Amino acid sequence: MILEPRLQCAGGMRMHDPAYLRRVRELCDANGIFLIADEIATGFGRTGTMFACEQATVAGSGGEEGCVTPDLLCLSKGLTGGFLPLAAVLATQSIYDGFLDDSRERAFLHSHSYTGNPLACAAALASLDIFASDDVLARNRVTAARMAQLAAPLATHRHVADVRQAGMVVAFELTRDGRRDAPFDPASRVGLHAYRAALGRGVLLRPLGDVLYWMPPYCIDEAQLELLASVTAEAIEETTACA
């Protein structure tokens, strides 16, 4: 079972409740299925916790509550703070041991040309140092709360069907009349027009279809957040004025 916990990004910034994740873990355990969490986008503090999986709890073997743990965890993007390409797949001890062998018959012979690239690893270590020395998660929670405030007025716009948020990600779903079951005609390229309207005002939005979203770097400041919000509102207004 492969999923993006809490937040499915490229699929349209779809979000699910932590209860869903908990239930998936329980069903995987009950049926002997590995759970693979793709936290490439959500990992490293994006959705409010270091990893999105931590937001769901599940009973452990001894009956104690613990957070959902995948069998395989995919990481990239935030691993280096976005500065250099580096990806990693973390495995449980038992999966690791399953492939640990001197024999080439059993060992996991898989790598890439630039596996363990020293520059990328140095960038990752520097980024992890910042997590250790600064309270990044606490600061992100403050920024996320500010994003919620700035997004709130857009919720009542006549063409905004849904505003949803997971930590430092806020998505705005645009539709013909503000109902989720009344999408714009895809041929009218509403998202593309919103992108152009925002770019002309100095803000790079990258809509997924008719879903506009904010997923700013953690260092975004108050003035930049306000610009992001006002330009998003203007872009939506300009794009939907004659819709």
Ligand X SMILES: *Cc1c(COP(=O)(O)O)cnc(C)c1O
Binding residues for ligand X, rule: CB under 6 A, are: 4, 9, 38, 40-41, 76-77, 87
Q: Give me the least distance between CB of 57 and ligand X, in Å please.
A: 23
Q: Give me the least distance between CB of 109 and ligand X, in Å please.
A: 20
Closest CB to ligand X among 78 and 239? Answer: 78
- Residue 20: phi, psi to the nearest 5? -65, -45
Closest CB to ligand X among 73 and 161? Answer: 73
Query: Contact 168/217 with Cβ under 8 angstroms?
Result: no
Element counts in the chain: helices (H) and strands (E): 6, 11
Closest CB to ligand X among 40 and 197? Answer: 40
Q: Give me the least distance between CB of 234 and ligand X, in Å please.
A: 28
Q: Give me the least distance between CB of 9 and ligand X, in Å please.
A: 5
Beta bridge partners of 228: none
Q: In sequence order, what E strands does 20-142 have?
A: 36-38, 57-59, 65-67, 72-75, 88-91
Closest CB to ligand X among 8 and 146? Answer: 8
Of 66, 78, 58, give the one whose Cα is nearest residue 124: 78
Closest CB to ligand X among 4 and 71? Answer: 4
Give the pairing of strands 160-165 and 170-174. Answer: antiparallel
Q: Give me the least distance between CB of 236 and ligand X, in Å please.
A: 25
The dihedral over CA atoms of 179, 185, 169, 68, expressed in degrees to the nearest 10, equals 80
